[in-house]
Amino acid sequence: MKKILAVLLVSTLITSLFAIPVFSEEKLLNTGDYILFGKYDKEEILWRCVGYDENGALMLADRIIMLKAYDATQYHDPDRTNASSNYWGNSDLRCWLNTREEADNIDWPFPFKPTEKRVTLHPYDSEKGFLHPDNFTDKEYGFIKEVTQKATLNVVDAGRIKEFGEEQYRFEKTNSITAEEIITGYDAAFGTNVTDRIFLLDLKQILEVSAIFGDYIRTTPTDRAKKYFLRNSDYEYFYWTRTPCVAATKQSMTYSIPSNSTSLGYSQANNGEGGVRPAFYLDLEKAHPANGDGSKENPFTLEAGKAESEGFLIRIDGTYLSTENEPVMINDRIMIPLRDVCEALQCEVGWIGETETATISKDALLIEVQINNNVIKRDNSGVKDEIKIDVPATLLESRTYIPLRAVAECFGYEVSWNDTFQTAIIDSVK
C-alpha cells in the first residue's frame, strides 16, 4: 500500500478557526452522545454525535466497521488508464453505502464493479447494499436524512462536472499542512454537489470533529471487522475520507485518516484495505433517543418521534422517565406524579396528611409542596424562602401531581422544552 504522509494539525490550532454553533435539536441529543443504530454483518453499529451544522446532528461510526476499496479499477476513462476514480459522486463505495438492494440489483455507477479483479482486496460486488433492510429497517431508514453536500474535484473531473470553485484542492508541501490552508483551500476548491444518506467525512468535517474531540478522529476496527485484516489489527487503522488527493500524477488517490497520530495520508482508491467509517445526519424530526443515557457503555437507541408517538416525554440527565402514571398537562404546565419524579431526581419524599403537604429533600435542601397552594416553601441549610407558582400541586385519582419545572428548578436543575417531540428535558447544571 502506497501512502504519502503530511503533518496533520493538532486540535488546539483548529479550535480557534471554527465557531461551533448551538442548535435547538442539541438538547435532545447532545454532542458527544452515543447511539446504537442499524447493523452490519449482523453486528449492531455504535455511532457518536460529533456535532451540529445546517444539516442537523452529524453521526459518525465510532469505529471502522469494514474494509473496502473506494472504487474499482476503470478502463473506460483515458485520464485514468488502468486506475480507479477518486471522485466521491461516482465511486463504488458511495453507491454501495447508499443502496438497499440485493447484490444482483445494485446499479453500479460504471460497468466495472468492485470485483476481485478490480480491487486489491475484499471485493464487494456480491454483497447486499449497506442500507439493505436486513441492516436498517424501513423505520430506521427513514431516520437517516438525505442531504446535499460539497464534493471536491480534481482537475480531471472539474473540467467535466464542476459547479463552483476556482482552483484545485491541493497542498503545495507535504511536510506541513495547517488548518488555515485546509479551510481556505476547501472554500475555493473545484466542487460539485452530491446528495447522500450515508457518506464519508471530508477533510473539513474531519477538522471540525478534531476541534471538539481531538484524537477521536483516529480509531480502531471493530472486532467483527478485524477478520478482514491480513496483519495485526489491534491498533488504530487508516480509513477513507471523501476528499480526493489532486496531486498532478495522483488522480486516483484519495485522502485518508491514518493511524499515525501526526499525519494525514492518501492511498490508491482501488486499495481494498481501506477502512470505512461511515457517517450520516440523524433526522430528529422523525426519531428521538431513548432507553439509555447516551454514554458509550449505555448508548441511546432510537424511537419514532412525534409523528408516531403519543403524549409527551420527560428526559432527566439523558434517561427517559418511565412511569406507570402518565404525566398530565394543566394550564400549559407539566404535572408529574410526585414519587416518580422525586425518585428520578434522587430525592427523598415525605407526606404530612393533616395539611396535605409533600416534603421533598435532597442533601441540605428541603421543599414543601402543599395541595392547591400556589407557594412552594424552600429551606436551604436554614435559609428559607418562598417560590410562587401559577399551577399548584393537585390530587388526581388519589395521587399527588406536582409541577415539574418548578420542583426541578428548586433543586438546581435546568429545564427546557423540545416542542418537536413534546419532550421536557431536565439536566443537572454542570
List of residues 6+ apart from 183 with CB closer than 8 A: 17, 204, 207
pLDDT at 418: 78
Model-level pTM?
0.74
Least confident segment among 169-183, 370-384, 409-423 = 169-183
The cell for 350 is 415525605
| pLDDT beyond 90 at 151 | yes
Mean pLDDT of 271-285: 93
Mean pLDDT of 355-359: 92
The cell for 227 is 477478520
The cell for 425 is 428535558
Q: What DSSP string runs through 173-189?
A: -SS---HHHHHHHHHHB
Mean pLDDT of 382-404: 89
CB–CB of 189/168 below 8 Å?
yes
Sign of the C-alpha dihedral computed for residues 308, 310, 316 and 322 taken in this order: negative
Looking at this protein, which amino acid is placed at residue 314? I
d(CA 316, CA 86) in angstroms, rounded, equals 46
What is the per-residue burial (b if ≥16 Cβ within 10 Å, else e) of 170-207?
bbeeeeebebeebbebbeebbbbebebbbbbbbbbbbb
The cell for 1 is 500500500
pLDDT at 292: 83
Of residues 92 and 397, the one with the higher pLDDT is 92
- With cut-offs at 50, 70 and 90, classify the pLDDT of residue 320: confident
Q: Look up the CATH superfamily of 310-428.
A: Copper amine oxidase-like, N-terminal domain (3.30.457.10)
Domain boundaries, the chain: 6-282, 310-428
pLDDT at 22: 38
